[in-house]
Amino acid sequence: MRFSNFFSTFPFMVALLILLISYPLAGGVFIHKVSHLSLFDSVYYCCITILTVGFGDIDPPIPVPYLILFIVVGVTLVTISGTKMFHDRRPWRLLTKCK
C-alpha cells in the first residue's frame, strides 16, 4: 500500500469518524427531547443500540418507526466504518508478513 493511497482515503475516514461521533449525539438529543430520559441516558442508549449490545436497561417511549430507522442507519454506519478500517489495514498486515 502506498502512502498516496492512504492519504486519498484519509478524508473519507475523517468524515466517517465525524459521523460515528455525531450520530449517537444527535440521536441522544432527539430521544432526550421526546422522552423523559436525561441527555446522558439518551446518548448511552444510542451508543448501546448502535453497537448492537442491547442491555435492555433503558426503554425510551419513542415511536417504533423512528427507532427502527435509527437502528438501521446506526448499524450501517458502524458496519461501513469497520469494513473500511479492516480493508485499509489488510495490505499493511500482508506487507509485514512478507518481511
Beta-carbon neighbour count of residue 5 at 10 Å? 11
The per-residue pLDDT for 70 is 86
Dihedral of the alpha carbons of 63, 66, 70, 76, in degrees to the nearest 10: 130
Model pLDDT for residues 57-90, shown as the tens digit of each residue: 888 888 889 888 888 988 888 888 878 777 776 6
CATH number for position 67: 1.10.287.70
- DSSP of 10-35, one letter per residue? HHHHHHHHHHHHHHHHHHHHHHHHHS
Give residue 87's pLDDT: 75
Name the grid cell of 4.
498516496
Looking at the predicted structure, is the pLDDT value of residue 2 above 60?
A: no
Domain count, the chain: 1
Q: Which domain holds residue 92?
A: 3-98
pLDDT in tens, 6-56: 556 677 778 888 888 898 999 999 889 988 899 999 999 989 988 878 788
38 burial type by CB count under 10 A (0-12 exposed, 13-18 middle, 19+ buried): exposed
